[in-house]
Amino acid sequence: MHTVVLVLGCLATVCSAQRTFKPSPGELKEAYVRANEYQKRAENAAFNLTLTMGWIGNGDSLWYRRDSTDGKKEFIRVDCLKKSKAPAFDHKGMATSLSTLLGREIDAEKLPFNAISFDASSGGISFQVTGAGYRFDPATGKATKGGEFDAEAVVETELEKEPNPEYPAPYVGSYSPPLQQDANARVREGQVEVRINDVWTVVSKQGAYARAVYPQGASKVVAFRLIPGERRLVYLLKAAVTGTSRAALEQRMYDQPGDKLDQFETWVIDPQTKVETKLDLAPIMGGGQPWANPPGTRVRGTKVFFDFPIRGYQEHKVVVVDAVSGQAKTVVEEKSATFLDQSKTNYWIVGDGKKLIWQSERDGWSHLYMVDTESGETKQITKGPWVVRGVSHVDETKGQIWFTACGFGNPAKEDPYHIHQCRVNLDGAGFVQLTKGDGTHAAQFSQDRRLFVDSYSRIDSAPVHELRNSETGELVVALEKAGIERLEKNGVRLPERFVAKARDGKSDIWGIVIRPSNFDPNKKYPVIENIYAGPHDSFVPKGFRPFYNMHRLAELGFIVVQIDGMGTNNRGKAFHDVAWKNVADAGFPDRILWLRALAKKYPQVDIERVGVYGTSAGGQSSTGGMLTHGDFYKVAVSSCGCHDNRIDKQWWNEQWMGYPVGPHYDGQSNITMAKQLKGKLMLIVGEQDRNVPPETTFRLADALIRAQKEFDLVVIPGADHTDGGPYGERKRRDFFVRWLHGVEPPSWND
């Protein structure tokens, strides 16, 4: 086992006798105050975390904004050819001219705009003040009203976005076929219409169509006809309705595992003869959200490509229909003994459609393949024990693919989830890893892609922004490094990284550790895990952020951790397949080993006092941890959990738990396992949860009552899918304080 820990972290070796941390009532009140005020320590205390910038012309130069304390800022221009940078204009001259123009004093260090755009030919600078356009001429030093500010030319390098644990909520409302239209064909009230001499003409008779595509130069329309499924309903009761003494009932369609789904037949229609011909293809699975949403299509010439997922998600096809001949052909057919991750079944059409780039995990890792759509010949483009995360650009002229990937480098030193920018030729030659700094990387490319701004960071290392060469990845100009000195001065304690081995003894499990700001290395603290184990992604943050909500919880005298166990995504197929028909596993064997390794290295971690909390699938897992590993996890708070995979949405649960619905669904249900509860459990649910039906929580509560178990239930009136909001957070804090510290929390009614 190896560890990677921030130097700011406490020393592993301390006095042999650790004193159990147990706050007095006074200390606890002070801790709540610190928790509530913690975010203020981070506000406006770090600078240049992101970079507001824009390319000038084709990319020979660029500008960016440099921020500093007290709202001060400076605009910098970079000459990419000369590899130099300087102020983008005379800031004092700008302020003087603007003061006259606006009739008020303007500070040169606090100009009243945050972005600019350059006229590459004249050198003029445009910007906006309170919505009005202005222009500054560097040659004359004069500002005038009426500049044309190009907002689309301004980009902002982002901090790494926190992984979204939830896919979009299902479609809400009754089914009404939408108007679907492209340039030459549309569907109106279920009938296909085509544009002939600028007049829309109905060319179908049988109705129930949901999408139609009529490529330029084609002789036939490709259309998808709906076969409705069961479209079964779920219900929500809203108790507190203004203006009435009665509750309101809401109903909506919601496909659950095993339900009969919408399907779509593929037809071709001759607009001249109005003959409709059903192609010899099985119906395509619909469902999910929104209802009546037919396959997405991509057109290249007169060829119409579309995805063809097979229910059960163990088979996936890409089909092309020739809109001249009206013939269909399967050009990709992918199969798996487990699941096919739908986020990694992507394709990009090349040329006239005779080739396409296909993303697949067929060799155990997410990689790119070149498929000849006529012969079916497939050649692997990328290869190795790493993961292609996405394709950002295909340059057919140069024969290059630009993509992001993770898993490079020495696994003993670099986090395998760090995203890097890469390029490879269409034939698989010329692979280049463009970014190699130890962090997760985001890129902003110039229009001609000769250069890019690389912004990278880690959770324990501030963002760095650099201009790099897109051919080699070499550094051109160092731009900025985020300033976090004030953040640290304000007592914000950065998260630490920690690594331990998984259950297989080989895989590295990566997680983060957040300690209270007044951490005493001579004391022993309870540990709380923030869990989300959904197989659709990985969830431990990798990029720098000045503040996490976990910091607040840690201030109450806890060590808070977050871990990605086996069964989560972005580490290769074998790592991921642990979740196949096994969502209840949630990586707990790996998480427990990781926590024990943390306690072995740091005696301040009290492994006998472990709590866990989470929302949605995290709500399911946090309760599941108590039911299946009750000797380890002692306290759990679970919000809006999908406690039974049969009650939650079809498209998410069948992806990982499989189809048809088998006995393993029942065996892994928290409701079925309710009688196994040992520790302290709080359930939180939003009354108006439109993502996970709230009855899953109520059914779990019913099962716990029948098993004569003690638990707490908090219903948030009017709330949608939620972690509980401010009130739920207070209840969660108090629950952990009461049962992990053994101290009664403050009486909030007093």
Whether pLDDT at 164 is above 70: no
Could you tell me the CA-to-CA distances from 303 to 213, 318, 333, 371 in Å, in that order? 10, 12, 18, 16
Each residue of 658-678: pLDDT tens digit?
Answer: 999 999 999 999 999 999 999
Distance CA 581, CA 665 (A): 8
Distance CA 311, CA 654 (A): 8
pLDDT of residue 174: 36
Does residue 23 have a cis peptide bond before it, meaning omega lies within 30 degrees of 0? no
Whether pLDDT at 436 is above 90: no
Nearest to 167 by CA among 685, 656, 695: 656
pLDDT of residue 175: 38
Distance CA 428, CA 370 (A): 9
Nearest to 467 by CA among 73, 76, 83, 82: 83
Whether pLDDT at 725 is above 60: yes
Nearest to 527 by CA among 538, 537, 535, 519: 519
Nearest to 422 by CA among 438, 408, 411, 410: 408
Residue 733 has phi, psi (to 5 degrees) of -60, -50
How long, in residues, is the chain?
A: 750
Whether pLDDT at 149 is above 70: yes
Q: What is the pTM of this model?
A: 0.93
Residue entry with tokens 């607009």: 271
Locate all alpha helices (DSSP H) within 531-649, ordered by sequence: 549-554, 573-576, 588-601, 617-628
- For residue 333, give the H/E element and its range: strand 328-335
Whether pLDDT at 172 is above 80: no
Looking at CATH, the fold of the domain delimited by 30-44+487-741 is given as Rossmann fold (3.40.50)
Maximum pairwise Cα distance, the chain: 89
CB 582 within 8 A of CB 668: yes
Please name the residues in contact with 454: beta carbons below 8 A apart, sequence gap of 6 or more. Answer: 421, 434, 435, 437, 441, 442, 443, 465, 466, 467, 468
Each residue of 641-655: pLDDT tens digit?
Answer: 999 999 999 999 999
Could you tell me the CA-to-CA distances from 209 to 121, 194, 269 in Å, in that order? 52, 13, 11
Q: For 258-302, where are the E strands, in sequence order?
A: 263-270, 275-278, 284-285, 297-300
Distance CA 269, CA 452 (A): 47
Whether pLDDT at 387 is above 70: yes
Cα dihedral 600, 606, 607, 612 sign: negative
pLDDT of residue 11: 43
Distance CA 192, CA 183 (A): 13
Whether pLDDT at 203 is above 60: yes
pLDDT of residue 347: 96
The mean pLDDT value for 695-708 works out to 98
Distance CA 545, CA 463 (A): 9
Each residue of 80-106: pLDDT tens digit?
Answer: 999 999 999 999 999 999 999 999 999
CB 210 within 8 A of CB 222: no
Q: How many CB atoms lie within 10 A of CB 247?
A: 11
Distance CA 332, CA 320 (A): 10
Whether pLDDT at 412 is above 80: no
Whether pLDDT at 12 is above 50: no
| Residue of 383 and 14 predicted with greater confidence | 383
CB 654 within 8 A of CB 664: no
End-to-end Cα, the chain, rounded Å: 50
pLDDT of residue 162: 64
CB 75 within 8 A of CB 89: yes
Quick one: what percent of the chain has pLDDT higher than 90? Answer: 87
Q: How many CB atoms lie within 10 A of CB 11?
A: 8
Q: How far is residue 400 CA from its own chain's centroid?
A: 27
Amino acid found at 82: K
Nearest to 123 by CA among 56, 196, 171: 56
CB 111 within 8 A of CB 128: no
Whether pLDDT at 9 is above 50: no
* Per-residue pLDDT band at 58 (split at 50, 70, 90): confident
* Per-residue pLDDT band at 286 (split at 50, 70, 90): confident
Each residue of 595-642: pLDDT tens digit?
Answer: 999 999 999 999 999 999 999 999 999 999 999 999 999 999 999 999
Nearest to 71 by CA among 45, 99, 105: 45
Amino acid found at 51: L
Locate all alpha helices (DSSP H) within 454-548, ordered by sequence: 485-489
Residue 701 has phi, psi (to 5 degrees) of -60, -40
Could you tell me the CA-to-CA distances from 401 to 175, 217, 465, 649 in Å, in that order? 40, 29, 24, 35
pLDDT of residue 70: 87
Q: How many CB atoms lie within 10 A of CB 471?
A: 12
Whether pLDDT at 60 is above 60: yes
**Whole-number average pLDDT of the chain:** 93
Q: How many CB atoms lie within 10 A of CB 445?
A: 18
Please name the residues in contact with 701: beta carbons below 8 A apart, sequence gap of 6 or more. Answer: 683, 711, 713
The answer to which of 177-181, 492-496, 553-557, 711-715 has the lowest mean pLDDT is: 177-181
Locate all alpha helices (DSSP H) within 46-183, ordered by sequence: 91-102
Distance CA 551, CA 546 (A): 10
| Residue of 280 and 123 predicted with greater confidence | 280
CB 556 within 8 A of CB 736: yes
pLDDT of residue 165: 65
Amino acid found at 280: D
* Per-residue pLDDT band at 166 (split at 50, 70, 90): low
pLDDT of residue 67: 96
How big is the CA angle at 516 (ends 514 and 522), to the nearest 5 degrees? 105
The mean pLDDT value for 17-35 works out to 93
CB 320 within 8 A of CB 303: yes
Whether pLDDT at 180 is above 90: no
CB 235 within 8 A of CB 281: no
CB 252 within 8 A of CB 690: yes
Please name the residues in contact with 423: beta carbons below 8 A apart, sequence gap of 6 or more. Answer: 400, 401, 402, 403, 430, 431, 432, 434, 470
* Per-residue pLDDT band at 158 (split at 50, 70, 90): confident
pLDDT of residue 700: 98
Query: DSSP of 138-163, one letter per residue?
Result: TTTTEEEE-----GGGEEEEPPPPPP
Per DSSP bridges, beta strands 559-563 and 523-530 are parallel
Locate all alpha helices (DSSP H) within 288-445, ordered by sequence: none
Angle, helix 617-628 to helix 588-601, in steps of 10 degrees? 70
* Per-residue pLDDT band at 157 (split at 50, 70, 90): confident
The mean pLDDT value for 153-158 works out to 89
Task: Give the three-state DSSP class for 93.
Answer: helix
Whether pLDDT at 291 is above 80: no
CB 683 within 8 A of CB 653: no
Quick one: what percent of the chain has pLDDT higher than 70? Answer: 94
| Residue range(s) occupied by CATH 3.40.50.1820 in the chain | 30-44+487-741
Each residue of 527-572: pLDDT tens digit?
Answer: 999 999 999 999 999 999 999 999 999 999 999 999 999 999 999 9
Helix, strand, coil shares, percent, the chain, to 5: 15, 35, 50
Each residue of 225-281: pLDDT tens digit?
Answer: 999 999 999 999 999 889 999 999 999 999 999 999 999 999 999 999 999 999 999
Task: Give the three-state DSSP class for 273.
Answer: coil
Distance CA 285, CA 292 (A): 10
pLDDT of residue 410: 66
Nearest to 447 by CA among 122, 152, 159: 152
pLDDT of residue 179: 60
